[in-house]
Amino acid sequence: MKKIFIIMVVALPFMASAQTNSIDSAFIKKISDDVLQNGQAYEWLHQLTKNIGGRLAGSPQFAKAIDWGKLTLDKIGADKVYLQECMVPHWVRGKNDKVSITAVNHKSESKPLDALAIGNSLGTTDKGVTAEVFAVNDFDQLEKYKDQIKGKIVFYNYHFIPTNISTFRSYADAGKYRRFGASRAAKYGAVGVIVRSMSESTDNNPHTGSMEYNDSFPKIPAAAIGLQDADNLWKLCQQSTSVKVNITTHGTFLPDERAYNVIAELTGSESPDEIITVGGHLDSWDVNEGAHDDGAGVVHTMEVLRVLKALGYKPKHTIRFVLFANEENGARGADKYAEEAKGRGEKHVFALESDDGGFTPRGFGFNAKPAVWEELNAWKPLFEPYGGSTFTKGGGGTDIEPLKKAFDIPLAGLQPDSQRYFDVHHARSDVFENVNRRELLLGAVNMAALIYLVDKYGL
């Protein structure tokens, strides 16, 4: 009898665990069924991209997106919907950007390259800047030949590392040339910079994005060119004694604009003062529709709210759904959200972001302490039917990172398949037509499942 009793005591926790997993599995299946049958994310994305389009912070289109976001969240039926004011930078591209080869081996030539000014860069005069090209592979070569840079246009032909299965690693590696390349070259007297686009696509679309000037050096114009043109320009520079290029851009900063984070809440039933944040950023670059970056994250966020409401779920914690302002060139919305939360003495417990596109979900990246990481991994089997069971260390996102600094909470970022993301990222091809409805909805399924589990069990 004693042996039987011991077996029962040992078995009870496993029985309870199995029962809990069964309940959770059943509820997550309800989430999936509802989203895949009734989800509105794709339709909302169509509205955002086709009715509004590119939404650079400070622009009239971004103001329209704020109004649309608030109206749509109101219609979903959150307990509370409101705007949180923040001032955002207002960079404008101006007229069309132009980069052209003007001479080869001192003979005049006219060959336009497909180009975009890099975001936050300052423009040229209407005549542009014309100078000889000095082509380098990387910063090491720039330093090696620094005495030959003065008066020239530096061309960084730095490639994505093709062996990284996660293309985000390649992007993080290459991104420093777009962000810091201009000032690194200006330090040695360069008069302009051309950057190979941050992509491994097979087309010739140039990719814009944000850069930073170092105030210690001249603020020279900077542009990105498409990959085919980059290959051709590099080859021409290797074969020729001299290649001259003209860069003509018109970027400038206008005074900061008033903008808003758009926030909706479901009030917690047991711990309303403990807050879970889920969000994406409402702004995009101006040259596309911002469908994957980050229209997908915006409608993912809305879809999580919709499905929880549709299933009658009553959260224990207060869940905030945030459409952040100005992620692309300043992160002012993220900073404001964390700053006000800290100032009000709020208690934040978890934050989830979607800002890696609307492709097939693979899992989540987590920024969490070891004990929390172990707890999260116990949930992996619940995500396997929906494709989101790959959990990796390291994750979050630009818009929720300030919450980590303010509250030292676990962060997570949805990680869709990354192989196609940088084909469209910051390029004219980031449009609604390049988003697949089912892939988009499955991302929302996995996000809603994670929010449900965190809310139910805590971390």
CATH code where residue 304 lies: 3.40.630.10
Q: Average the pLDDT over 201-229 and give the result.
A: 97
Amino acid present at 9: V
176 in a domain, yes or no? yes
Residues in CB range of 98: below 8 A, 6 or more apart: 112, 115, 128, 246, 247, 248, 249
Domain count, the chain: 2
CATH of the domain at 109: 3.50.30.30
204 in a domain, yes or no? yes
Residues 271 and 247 in one domain: no
Which of 190, 224, 253 represents a domain boundary (last residue)?
A: 253
pLDDT score at 42: 98
pLDDT digits (tens, 9 = 90+) for 1-48: 444 444 444 444 444 455 568 999 999 999 999 999 999 999 999 999
Residues 267 and 248 in one domain: no
Active-site residue among 200, 257, 289, 327? 327
Note if 303 is an active site residue.
no
- Between 385 and 21, residue with greater pLDDT: 385
Query: For helices 2-38 and 437-457, what crossing angle results, to 10°?
Result: 140
Q: Which two tokens stand for residue 282?
A: 């409402």
- Between 395 and 428, residue with greater pLDDT: 428
434 in a domain, yes or no? yes
22 in a domain, yes or no? no
pLDDT digits (tens, 9 = 90+) for 193-207: 999 999 999 999 999
Q: Average the pLDDT over 418-422 and give the result.
A: 97
pLDDT score at 9: 43
Instruction: Tell me if 284 sits within 8 A of 294, measured CB to CB.
Output: yes
pLDDT score at 20: 62
- β-bridge pairing 243-248 and 98-104: antiparallel
Residues 241 and 261 in one domain: no
d(C-alpha 190, C-alpha 155), whole Å: 10
Amino acid present at 159: H
Residues 182 and 112 in one domain: yes
Residues in CB range of 257: below 8 A, 6 or more apart: 57, 58, 87, 88, 89, 90
Instruction: Give the number of other Cβ atoms within 10 Å of residue 148's Cβ.
Output: 11
- Please check the confidence at residue 357 and state whether its pLDDT lies above 60: yes
70 pLDDT band, cuts 50/70/90, is very high
Residues 351 and 224 in one domain: no
Residues 217 and 267 in one domain: no
> Residue 386 is part of which domain span?
28-87+256-457
Residues 325 and 233 in one domain: no
pLDDT score at 1: 41
Residues 423 and 284 in one domain: yes
Report phi then psi at 193, rounded to 5.
-140, 140
Residues of the chain with pLDDT > 70: what percent? 96
pLDDT score at 77: 96
- Please check the confidence at residue 435 and state whether its pLDDT lies above 90: yes
pLDDT digits (tens, 9 = 90+) for 130-170: 999 999 999 999 999 999 999 999 999 999 999 999 999 99
d(C-alpha 122, C-alpha 218), whole Å: 11
Instruction: Give the number of other Cβ atoms within 10 Å of residue 107's Cβ.
Output: 9
Instruction: Tell me if 342 sits within 8 A of 336, measured CB to CB.
Output: no
Q: Which two tokens stand for residue 363?
A: 């899992």
3-state secondary structure of 7: helix
Residues 349 and 395 in one domain: yes
State pTM to two decimals: 0.94
Buried/exposed 23-49: b ≥16 CB within 10 Å, e otherwise = ebeebbeebbebbeeebbbbebbbebb
Give the position of tokens 């309940």: 23
d(C-alpha 316, C-alpha 305), whole Å: 15
Residues of the chain with pLDDT > 90: what percent? 95
393 in a domain, yes or no? yes
Instruction: Tell me if 334 sits within 8 A of 271, measured CB to CB.
Output: no
Which of 253, 273, 290 represents a domain boundary (last residue)?
A: 253
DSSP 364: E
Q: Average the pLDDT over 399-426 and give the result.
A: 98
Which of 203, 220, 253 represents a domain boundary (last residue)?
A: 253
383 in a domain, yes or no? yes
54 pLDDT band, cuts 50/70/90, is very high
d(C-alpha 146, C-alpha 136), whole Å: 11
Residues 172 and 219 in one domain: yes
Residues 237 and 103 in one domain: yes
pLDDT digits (tens, 9 = 90+) for 273-312: 999 999 999 999 999 999 999 999 999 999 999 999 999 9
17 in a domain, yes or no? no
414 in a domain, yes or no? yes
| Averaged pLDDT of the chain | 95
Residues 407 and 300 in one domain: yes
pLDDT score at 18: 55
